[in-house]
Amino acid sequence: MSRRVAVVSFDDIPPIGGQGRYVAALEQQMPIEGYQVHMVSPKRGPWGEAPRIPRRTRRPPLDFSMYLRRHIQLVAQEVRPDLWHYQGGPGGVMVRRHPPDAPMIYTSHHTYRTAHGRNLGSMPMGYLESRGYRLAEHVIAVSPSTAASLMADSGVPKDRISVIPSGVDTSWLQPPPDEAARDTILFVGRLIPAKGVQYFVAMFRTLAQEHPDLIAEVCGDGVLLPVAMGAAEKLQGRLRVLGRVEDDDLRESYRRARVFVMPSRFEGLGLVALEAMACGTPVVGMDVPGLRDMRDTGITLVKADDQKAMHDEVNRLLLDGARWRELSAQALEVVRARYSWDCVRPRIAEVYRSVLPSSSTQAA
């Protein structure tokens, strides 16, 4: 008999970021392991149509968490989950009490402390986040850096943490047949300062002068969209700002890219980097938590905020075909061997089994 899993997430379909892509994949992947996934989010749940969630704070994920806490019994009665699977991290769901009638696990996509350091403004959020992690029977950390933060900052015991990365659909993400068709450099992510699109745009202004045929693409949306659009206007079509794109269009952007650039100041893991690698696209990023954990994938890392070093590494890959092919092949090999959903899915299922009562004691 299939077990019922309530996957609780602020980010849902269409995804805003990595958490949304993760839960969308859980819906597709976990039934293969014998689990029925029931989404609980601001867009889907037992409340039918998307509810009107009161805006009590300036943080929509926290508003949803407060709304969910008031309606958790309704969710439990309607979904009747055997397991609660919450999605945590900045932009995630906060838990103040253990949800009713079933064990709970959390996936920590990254932590407030990793994202904001010891910023006083983030301390209440970090406290609430840590409380939820400590309530869980088990926590999945998407990277060793995230696991270290869970232990050091949230007080979660090591034996209640499993490091399991986000999976990548390697049957859908494939390299293009012709290497010569790759003529762009690419940024994918939220257009906010922490993700570094402003660095990408500034770097391309220089690269555009050095490589007259090079094109840059930006996929994403956010407060820095006007900055990217303004740069695109000045660069007269050589910088394409595509905004939020559908999955198939994103895949084609990955496949067009000669180099994927990830100038983030922090990441839980860097799922878009893995997706680019699944298309055989070498990645240049900054040496920050999350990306640092991916060193053996072939990613090229430079010192955080060192824009010149990032420019130099991207330029090197544009000029050095032999190195490009070496890193492309390494990325493909590692992602397929360690990050495909065929590798990741059974490990998540094992965590599910570890906290669920045996099927012999399950109520019919």
Q: Which helix (H) or strand (E) holds 23?
A: helix 18-29
pTM over 0.85? The answer is: yes
What is the reported pLDDT for 119? 61
Q: Which of 111 and 187 is assigned the larger pLDDT?
A: 187
Burial class (CB within 10 angstroms; exposed 0-12, middle 13-18, buried 19+) of 276: buried
How far from 155 is each of 133, 151, 158, 176, CA to CA, in Å?
9, 5, 9, 45
Q: For 207-265, how does the pLDDT look when each residue is reduced to its tens digit (9 = 90+)?
A: 999 999 999 999 999 999 999 999 999 998 899 999 999 999 999 999 999 999 999 98
Q: How confident is the model at residue 360 (pLDDT cuts 50, 70, 90)?
A: very low
8-state DSSP, 196 = T
Please state the rounded mean pLDDT for residues 37-57.
88
CATH number of 179-339: 3.40.50.2000
Residue 236's region, left for phi above 0, alpha for psi from -120 to 50, else beta, is left
Q: What percent of the chain has pLDDT over 70?
A: 96
Q: What is the 3-state secondary structure (H, E, C) of 211-252?
A: CCCCEEEEECCCCCHHHHHHHHHHCCCCEEEEECCCHHHHHH
Q: Which two tokens stand for residue 114?
A: 């990793």
Q: For 251-260, how does the pLDDT look when each residue is reduced to its tens digit (9 = 90+)?
A: 999 999 999 9
Nearest residue to 168 via CA among 282, 56, 331: 331
What is the rounded (10 degree) CA torsion for 11, 17, 20, 22? -140
Phi, psi of 96, deg, nearest 5: -100, -25
* Average model confidence (pLDDT) across the chain: 91
8-state DSSP, 2 = P
Collapsed DSSP state (helix, strand, coil) of residue 274: helix
Q: What percent of the chain has pLDDT over 90?
A: 75
Please state the rounded mean pLDDT for residues 320-342.
95
Q: How confident is the model at residue 364 (pLDDT cuts 50, 70, 90)?
A: very low
Please state the rounded mean pLDDT for residues 333-343.
95
Q: For 150-209, how does the pLDDT look when each residue is reduced to its tens digit (9 = 90+)?
A: 999 899 999 999 999 999 999 999 999 888 889 999 999 999 998 999 999 999 999 999
What does DSSP say about strands 283-286 and 300-302: parallel, antiparallel, or unpaired?
parallel
Give the separation between CA 195 and CA 199, rounded to whole angstroms.
9
Do the two domains 3-167+341-361 and 179-339 of this chain adopt the same fold?
yes
Please state the rounded mean pLDDT for residues 100-107.
96
DSSP string for 152-179: HHH---GGGEEE-PPPB-TTT----S-G
What is the rounded (10 degree) CA torsion for 68, 72, 78, 83? 100
Owner of token pair 């970090």: 126
What is the reported pLDDT for 18? 83
Could you tell me if 142 and 165 are in contact, meaning their C-beta atoms sit under 8 angstroms apart? yes
Q: Say which amino acid occupies 146.
A: T
What is the reported pLDDT for 17? 79
Query: 3-167+341-361, what's its fold?
Result: Rossmann fold (3.40.50)
- pLDDT of 120 over the 70 cut: no
- pLDDT of 149 over the 70 cut: yes
How many other CB atoms sit within 10 Å of the CB of residue 318?
Answer: 16
What is the reported pLDDT for 363? 41
Domain boundaries, the chain: 3-167+341-361, 179-339
Q: For 277-303, how does the pLDDT look when each residue is reduced to its tens digit (9 = 90+)?
A: 999 999 999 999 889 999 888 899 999
Please state the rounded mean pLDDT for residues 264-274.
89
What is the reported pLDDT for 265? 87
What is the reported pLDDT for 156? 96
What is the reported pLDDT for 361? 41
Q: How confident is the model at residue 114 (pLDDT cuts 50, 70, 90)?
A: confident
